[in-house]
């Protein structure tokens, strides 16, 4: 990477900041771009539900702008897609060939459909303009620097455990996810960028768990004396999710290395260094500024 310049959008967010670290370690010159709505200068979302128009615009118009920039600069572009493009999947585990089961007009559609559009416009730039494009479909990822109140399940549970609050499990907790530690994800993305593979590739950890079991693991890890309270399942919340990573293994020689117990241990160690109450209040105050209509 020495002598190469890399632009990372969303550089102040969770994954963006870890990607910057990796490119810097590889000797690249890194330019970070971020509007700091959900990012933080020190280091993103339920967030997307609070800012639905921005979510749609960044996935569609934002991607269009960056594809135009990549074309003008003759650069290679890797776009961060998501397992959300599979929606509430009817195929399990999900292979890249699956077209998905997405509700376009539900609240979650602002994210899912923007990301589907993102993939479509990226492939069009690749096919029509010959742009060098890569598409990573990122499955649930966790690790240090997640925002405490981004609405995702892991920071929610860890924050609740450390503040001595009850755990909020949505629905009956039988829905599944497959959590990937951030270092593994970054390695997969890095390899994809350097590959010559233009079709979408799943990067995630196939180790699937129910949210109820996940809550139990975090109780055990933190030693928290908390109860579980059950709340309504969000609209269109996928019932199950697990990546089929056969393609990543084949074209990238990649598979995850950090198991959940190790990844959770490292993540908890990070959150323990933070003043939870202060941070929680600060995050809310900072974010609330941006959601007034």
Taking the complex as a whole, the smallest distance from the CB of residue 208 to ligand UDP amounts, in Å, to: 12
Nearest Cα to Cα of residue 5 among 43, 47, 33: 33
Taking the complex as a whole, the smallest distance from the CB of residue 28 to ligand UDP amounts, in Å, to: 30
Q: Which of 54, 122, 149, 175 binds ligand UDP (CB under 6 A)?
A: 175
Q: Taking a C-beta distance cutoff of 8 angstroms, is the pair 194, 188 a contact?
A: no
Interaction pattern, residues 149-168, with ligand UDP; x per rule: CB under 6 A: --xxx--x-----------x
Does residue 210 interact with ligand UDP by CB under 6 A?
no
Report the C-alpha dihedral over residues 46, 51, 53, 55, rounded to 10 degrees: -50
φ/ψ bin of 208: left (φ > 0), alpha (ψ from -120 to 50), beta (otherwise)? beta
| 111, 125, 181, 190: the active-site residue | 111
Please say whether the dihedral angle defined by the alpha carbons of residues 54, 181, 251 and 88, taken in this order, is positive or negative. Answer: negative
Q: How many CA atoms lie within 13 A of 53 on its CB side?
A: 4
Does residue 133 interact with ligand UDP by CB under 6 A?
no
Please give the residues from 42 up to 81 whose contact with ligand UDP meets the rule CB under 6 A: none
111 catalytically annotated: yes
Nearest Cα to Cα of residue 120 among 133, 107, 110, 108: 133
Choose between 153 and 252: whose C-beta lies nearer to ligand UDP.
Answer: 153
Report the C-alpha dihedral over residues 51, 49, 124, 93, rounded to 10 degrees: 160
Q: Which of 38, 140, 149, 267 binds ligand UDP (CB under 6 A)?
A: 140
Taking the complex as a whole, the smallest distance from the CB of residue 229 to ligand UDP amounts, in Å, to: 10
* Helix, strand or coil, per DSSP, at residue 158: helix
Backbone angles phi, psi at 58, to 5 degrees: -65, -40
User: Segment near ligand UDP (CB under 6 A), from 94-102, 147-155, 190-198, 201-209?
Assistant: 147-155
Peptide bond between residue 149 and the one before it cis (omega within 30 degrees of 0): no
Q: Which of 26, 75, 98, 170 binds ligand UDP (CB under 6 A)?
A: 170
Choose between 132 and 236: whose C-beta lies nearer to ligand UDP.
Answer: 236
Q: How many CA atoms lie within 13 A of 7 on its CB side?
A: 13
Where do runs of H (alpha helix) occur along 30-96? 46-50, 52-57, 63-73
Choose between 168 and 195: whose C-beta lies nearer to ligand UDP.
Answer: 168
Interaction pattern, residues 86-125, with ligand UDP; x per rule: CB under 6 A: ----------------------------------------
Please give the residues from 224 up to 283 whose contact with ligand UDP meets the rule CB under 6 A: 233-234, 237
SS3 percent helix, strand, coil of the chain, rounded to 5, is 45, 15, 40
Choose between 199 and 207: whose C-beta lies nearer to ligand UDP.
Answer: 207
Taking the complex as a whole, the smallest distance from the CB of residue 9 to ligand UDP amounts, in Å, to: 20
Catalytic residues: 111
Footprint of ligand UDP (CB under 6 A): 140, 151-153, 156, 168-170, 175, 177, 211, 233-234, 237
């Amino acid at each position: 990477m020495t002598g190469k310049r890399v632009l990372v959008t969303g550089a102040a967010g969770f994954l963006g900041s870890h990607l910057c670290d990796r490119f810097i370690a590889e000797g690249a010159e890194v330019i970070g771009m971020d509007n700091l709505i959900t990012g933080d200068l020190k280091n993103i979302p339920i967030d997307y539900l609070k800012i639905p128009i921005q979510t749609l615009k960044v996935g569609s118009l934002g991607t269009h702008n960056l594809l135009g920039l990549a074309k003008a600069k003759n650069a290679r572009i890797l776009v961060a897609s998501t397992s959300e493009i599979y929606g509430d999947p009817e195929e399990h585990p999900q292979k890249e060939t699956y077209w998905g089961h997405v509700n376009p007009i539900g609240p979650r559609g602002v994210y899912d459909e923007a990301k589907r559009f993102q993939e479509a416009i990226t492939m069009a730039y690749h096919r029509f303009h010959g742009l060098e494009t890569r598409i990573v479909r990122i499955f649930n990822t966790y690790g240090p620097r997640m925002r405490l109140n981004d609405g995702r399940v892991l920071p929610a549970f860890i924050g609740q455990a450390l503040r001595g609050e009850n755990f909020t499990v949505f629905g009956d907790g039988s829905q599944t996810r497959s959590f990937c530690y951030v270092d593994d994800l970054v390695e997969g993305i890095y390899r994809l960028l350097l590959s010559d593979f233009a079709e979408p590739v799943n990067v995630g950890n196939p180790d699937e768990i129910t949210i109820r079991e996940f809550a139990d693991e975090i109780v055990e890890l933190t030693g928290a004396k908390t109860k579980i309270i059950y709340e309504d399942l969000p609209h269109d919340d996928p019932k199950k999710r697990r990546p089929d990573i056969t393609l990543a293994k084949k074209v990238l020689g990649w598979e995850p290395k950090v198991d959940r117990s190790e990844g959770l241990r490292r993540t908890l160690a990070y959150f323990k260094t933070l003043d939870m109450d202060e941070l929680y209040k600060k995050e809310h105050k900072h974010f609330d500024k941006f959601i007034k209509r």
